[in-house]
Amino acid sequence: MTDTPPLALDDVSLTLPSAAGPVEILRGLSLTLAHGERMALVGPSGSGKSSLIAVAAGLERPTAGTVRLFGQDLGRLDEDGRARLRRGRVGLVFQAFHLLPNMTAEENVAAPMEIARRPDAMAEARAWLDRVGLGARLRHYPHQLSGGEQQRVALARALAPSPALIFADEPTGNLDSKNARHVADLLFELVEHTGAALLMVTHDPALAHRAQRVVTLRDGRPEAAAEAA
Amino acid sequence: MIPLWMRFAGRELRSGVKGFRIFLACLALGVAAIAAASSTAEAFRQGLAAEARQILGGDLSVSRGQTRFTPRERALFDRLGRVSVAVAVQAMSEAPSGERRLVEFRGVDAAYPLAGAVTIEGAPSLAAALARQDETGGPAVWGAAVEQALLERLNLKLGDRFLVGNVTLQATAILETEPDRLARGFALGPRVLAQTGALESGGFLTAGLPFAQTARIALAPGVPLDEAKAEIAKAMKGVYRVRDRNDAAPGVSRMIDQLEYFLGFIGLASLVAGGLGVFGAVSAYVDGRKSAIATLKALGADSALIRNTYLAQIGLLALAGVTIGLATGAATPLVLGAAIQAQLPVPALFAIYPAPLLKAAAFGLLSAAAFALAPLARARTTPPASLFRSDLSGRLRPGPELIAAGLAAAGLGALAVVTAPTPFAAGVMIGGVAAAFLVLWAFGWAAAALAGRVRGGARGAMRIALANLAGPRSAARTAAPAIGLGVALLAAVVLIQSSLLAQISSIAPQTAPALVFTQIPGERAAAFDAEFARAYGRRPTADTYLRAPYFTGRITAVRGEPVTPERVPANVRWAYDNDVTLSAIGPEPPNANILSGRWWPADHDGPPLLAMSKEPARGMNLKVGDKVTLSVLGAEIETTLAVIRDVDFGSFGASFPLIVTPAALEGAAPRHVAIAKASRDEEQRIVRALGQSFPEVNVISVREQLEAATELFDQVALAVRGAAAVALMAALLVLAGAIAARAQERTREAATLKVLGASRAQVLAAYVLEYGLVGLIAGAAGVALGYAAAWPVVTQVFEATWSVDWGGVAALLAGAAALAGAGGLLASFQALSKRPAAALRGA
């Protein structure tokens, strides 16, 4: 493991066009995530939390500032270069799950490993689905699974390639409280197990407090940073 | 190991082809039309090739007019193989009742036919039918097999006697088919088949008379075709024509080529119209897969993997569409052939031919590529950030897909031109379709923009309709160009056909002569005029009767330079590589239409002057004052071009491409031709009366020919309109696709409108108005484009009078609006079928 942090944002701004004129989403935001660190991003709706994840994961280009993922300046990479950088090293969990609807649970989990050309993709996918308690649901399609089950598949898909960094955008936002608790437990247990760093957006204070650091965003800027208890 | 893009493509296709039904139907329809047209044409070509010997009547045929083959020539033919010589003339037949009719009178020898068989009814064999008949106890007469039409026209039955010229014949059999009829082409009257001796006895075969003689040769074993042709070329002198079994019916072959191209062109137009359906279906699919594409990108997939994954899916579906089209297109002629083969005038071998199917497949795949690749590019350019921002989607940016789409479109046009029998015309047609498509597309966008501007002034259902038309997925942009193209094609066909039909059925009977008289003996021309006037019952004027001497001759030199037909422009070569008709007239004839020069004095006695029709004159850049040498009756006459005129061969006038001063042909004893305008009653009276004093004069009823042409034209018109409707079907598919693509959105919209207090009737009216407007706008644009395409074809190509079938145009417009409106009705029923609460929950 090198000293380079998996993620470093320096003076990042994001302005997006809208019908009513440009909207400033992120304003000069700087942030570093250390290896194995678990950070929660909280803040009111529209404060730029999800946009921060999109920019940090290289899904969206910032208007200004530098994003370094595993030491690489994303500004110097094109979309394909950023996709290749994510391969096998970055896991993503979304509030809306975003499972591939025409692929089974097993294929969904295997997809990032297949893209990373791992020959053991299917075996590894089956093992991970077993770990999240869905060993009996390998051949089920997303629409045949409950919301909680879908998010567990999404967790397995994010973690199976053993990434060094996980981005989770409201991972429990679409779940009832029981399922939310189960998925949160699973997320933290697995992240701890793999040693991956975690940047998680949440509205749930209880979930945020399970992170080591909580950053509150307001109007696209960090309001305060505090060590979790 | 299966490549990853293939595995992903396979998984993506698990949801089936639900969103691709229109895609498949659009491709299959166009491919099926092209495959069916080409397969049918190939079946005819193969049929003609298989029966070429029968159609030609042997391996070789040698034809010559006005003179009989010399004994030396006959000897050469006999040396080459078995020979049958036939002669044919046009002559007047006459029943004992006095009823008369022009016939094609053909004489054959005992060897006829060398190939195939003559089908007759009423006699045991052709020989028996044509044998001299004397069972009535009177003098023996020639037996003749005649077509049913003649029996009906002359009110005869088998066994009755009748005259052709001055030859008495007995109708012994009904002539059904002759194997070589197709090679001989069009006949002006019913056919009468007899022995050559019958024509000889009637004096029809005197040298100089307009009879045609053809020797058909079945080559002896071991005599190669080319050598036989070379020997004939060496031995024969003068004007003659040789055809061989490889070119048995060139006119029919040309017609098949043209028909194939025309029907194929309609198929191609359907592919272009349906292309919007392909475009729409792929766009909708890529839109629907936006989340999956962005997810794959977020998981590390690069754009090449995305492009290949979706390209493989669309490619596979395109193959499926093309295959369905090929299967349908290959089966259609088989089924049709089984049903109507017996009634076909041309032999056909219906089978599955690979070449036409390959051509149709190439058209289908190229059109799929041209229309699917651009929206497919949006899969590659879909940003992964669209997972967070639903307003984002892939944009059309210049890239390999757009370049490939452009190349495919160019390839489609090039293939259409290369496979056409006349590449220039094909180029114009393809260019026209492409231009029309662009105009309609721009028109659709403009209509959508206009709807956006005027919606503020509208209320209620109209406002909703205009808002939808102005919206991002407006049917004005998606379906209107396809509907417009379908309507344009159908409008062009309707307008061309209605103009031509009007020309044949209404205009020509007023402007063209009703009767044409040929073979008027020159020395009795004045007597003929008098006899005609007597039968006519009124005094003929220059506007109702015109007689002129009739010659045939050839232009041999221009400005002192001998004519080389190969160097003459193809469109006017007919006047320089063949004998053309000419006359010698003193006073200026009616409707002379002089473009340059002045008509000569009626009594001009100086050096020969020439009046020439404008096309051959312009083709060789001839000006008044230029020298033109003619070969007439074996003599070379140097003339000076005095008049260039616009000859309307369909009007009442001196319709000769060449007219010389009478002094130029002084001493010749030509036969004359005459034309006359007459009512139906006058016509019958004249034909009967001339039978007494001028039995040798042939009377051609232009009215009858026009009626026959109208009937034939009506049948062809129906078939062609039916074929053109295929393009409209493609347009309807595109409309259905546009409706289907917005079904979910419509359901939510209808639910919201109902929640806001709109009644079902208001929602229904809004959608019917919206789509009805699309149909009306697209229909109007289509009719305008069809008008623009049809006008030059009618006035320039066919040189006919432009007349608009307003009823047909109105029906087309109303049909387009009604069909599109019905689509709107369907869309509204679909949208209103869900309860508002359920529809909004689903949102």
The DSSP string of B713-735 is HHHHHHHHHHHHHHHHHHHHHHH
For chain A, give percent helix, strand, coil, nearest 5. 35, 25, 40
Residue contact A114–B7, C-beta within 8 A? yes
**Cβ count within 10 A of residue A179:** 18
B297 touches chain A (CB under 8 A): yes
Q: Out of B295, B300, B301, name the one closest to residue A98 (CB).
A: B295
Cα distance between residue B444 and residue B680, in whole Å: 53
CA B164 remoteness from chain centre: 36
B434 to B409, B440, B443: CA distances (angstroms) = 10, 10, 14
A38 to A100, A169, A197: CA distances (angstroms) = 27, 13, 6
Cα distance between residue B153 and residue B167, in whole Å: 19
Residue contact B299–A16, C-beta within 8 A? no
**E-strand spans in B75-137?**
81-94, 100-108, 119-121
Substitution target from B7, B11, B295 for chain A, most A beta carbons within 10 A = B295
- Tell me how close the Cα of A9 comes to any Cα of chain B, in angstroms: 18
Q: Would you state the torsion angle of the CA atoms of residues B461, B465, B471, B476, taken in this order, to the nearest 10 degrees?
A: 180
**Per-residue confidence (pLDDT) for residue B842, from 0 to 100:** 54
Substitution target from A14, A45, A86 for chain B, most B beta carbons within 10 A = A86
pLDDT at A123 over 60: yes
- The token duo for B137 is 């106890």
Cα distance between residue B43 and residue B52, in whole Å: 14
Cα distance between residue A70 and residue B363, in whole Å: 50
Residue contact B389–A16, C-beta within 8 A? yes
With beta carbons under 8 A apart, name residues in chain A contacting B294: 59, 98
**What does the DSSP 8-state code read for residue B471?**
S
**Per-residue confidence (pLDDT) for residue B79, from 0 to 100:** 92
**Cβ count within 10 A of residue B795:** 13
**Cβ count within 10 A of residue B226:** 8
Strand-pair partners of B816: none
Cα distance between residue B742 and residue B748, in whole Å: 10
**Per-residue confidence (pLDDT) for residue B399, from 0 to 100:** 83
B87 to A148, B69, B196, B224: CA distances (angstroms) = 95, 11, 7, 26
Compute chain B's Rg from CA coordinates: 34
How, if at all, do strands A197-201 and A165-169 pair?
parallel
Helices within B51-103 (DSSP H only): 52-56, 71-80
Cα distance between residue B592 and residue B653, in whole Å: 7
First to last CA, chain A: 27
- Residues A70-96 have a mean pLDDT of 92
CA neighbor of B738 nearest in space, from B488, B489, B448, B365 = B448
With beta carbons under 8 A apart, name residues in chain A contacting B302: 79-80, 83-84
Cα distance between residue B154 and residue B190, in whole Å: 11
Cα distance between residue A35 and residue B332, in whole Å: 69
B123 touches chain A (CB under 8 A): no
First to last CA, chain B: 41
CA B138 remoteness from chain centre: 52
- The token duo for A160 is 């199976």
CA A84 remoteness from chain centre: 16
**Cβ count within 10 A of residue B578:** 12
Cα distance between residue B49 and residue B244, in whole Å: 12
b vs e for B154-177, b when ≥16 Cβ sit within 10 Å of the residue's Cβ? Answer: bebebebbbbbbebbbbbbbbbee
In terms of phi and psi (left: phi > 0; alpha: psi -120 to 50; beta: otherwise), the region of B788 is alpha
Pick the residue from chain B with its C-alpha nearest to A60: B385
**Per-residue confidence (pLDDT) for residue B392, from 0 to 100:** 67
**Per-residue confidence (pLDDT) for residue B543, from 0 to 100:** 83
Measured in residues, chain B has a length of 843
CA B302 remoteness from chain centre: 52
Pick the residue from chain A with its C-alpha nearest to B288: A101
Q: DSSP string spanning B400-428? A: HHHHHHHHHHHHHHHHHHHTSSSHHHHHH
**Per-residue confidence (pLDDT) for residue A225, from 0 to 100:** 42
Q: Which residues of chain B have pLDDT under 70?
A: 135-139, 185, 390-394, 836-843
> Which tens digits make up the pLDDT trace of A170-214?
998 888 888 888 889 988 988 888 889 999 999 888 899 999 999
Size of interface A-B (CB pairs under 8 A): 83
Cα distance between residue B516 and residue B503, in whole Å: 19
Q: Out of B303, B304, B388, name the one closest to residue A50 (CB).
A: B388
Residue contact A80–B304, C-beta within 8 A? yes
Measured in residues, chain A has a length of 229
Q: DSSP string spanning B572-634? A: GGGGTSS-EEEEE-SSPPTT--EEEE-PPPTT--SS-EEEEEHHHHHHTT--TT-EEEEEETT
8 A C-beta contact, residue B294 and residue B754: no
φ/ψ of residue A14, rounded to 5: -140, 120
Substitution target from A25, A41, A50, A80 for chain B, most B beta carbons within 10 A = A80
Q: Out of B7, B304, B387, name the one closest to residue A94 (CB).
A: B387
Q: Would you state the torsion angle of the CA atoms of residues B672, B676, B682, B683, taken in this order, to the nearest 10 degrees?
A: 60
Chain A residues with CB under 8 Å of a chain B CB are 16, 50-51, 53-54, 57, 59-60, 79-80, 83-84, 86-88, 90, 92, 94, 98-103, 107, 111-112, 114-117, 157, 169
**Per-residue confidence (pLDDT) for residue B270, from 0 to 100:** 82
Strand-pair partners of B65: B212
Substitution target from B388, B390, B391 for chain A, most A beta carbons within 10 A = B388
With beta carbons under 8 A apart, name residues in chain B contacting A46: none
8 A C-beta contact, residue A36 and residue A204: no
Residue B778 three-state SS: helix
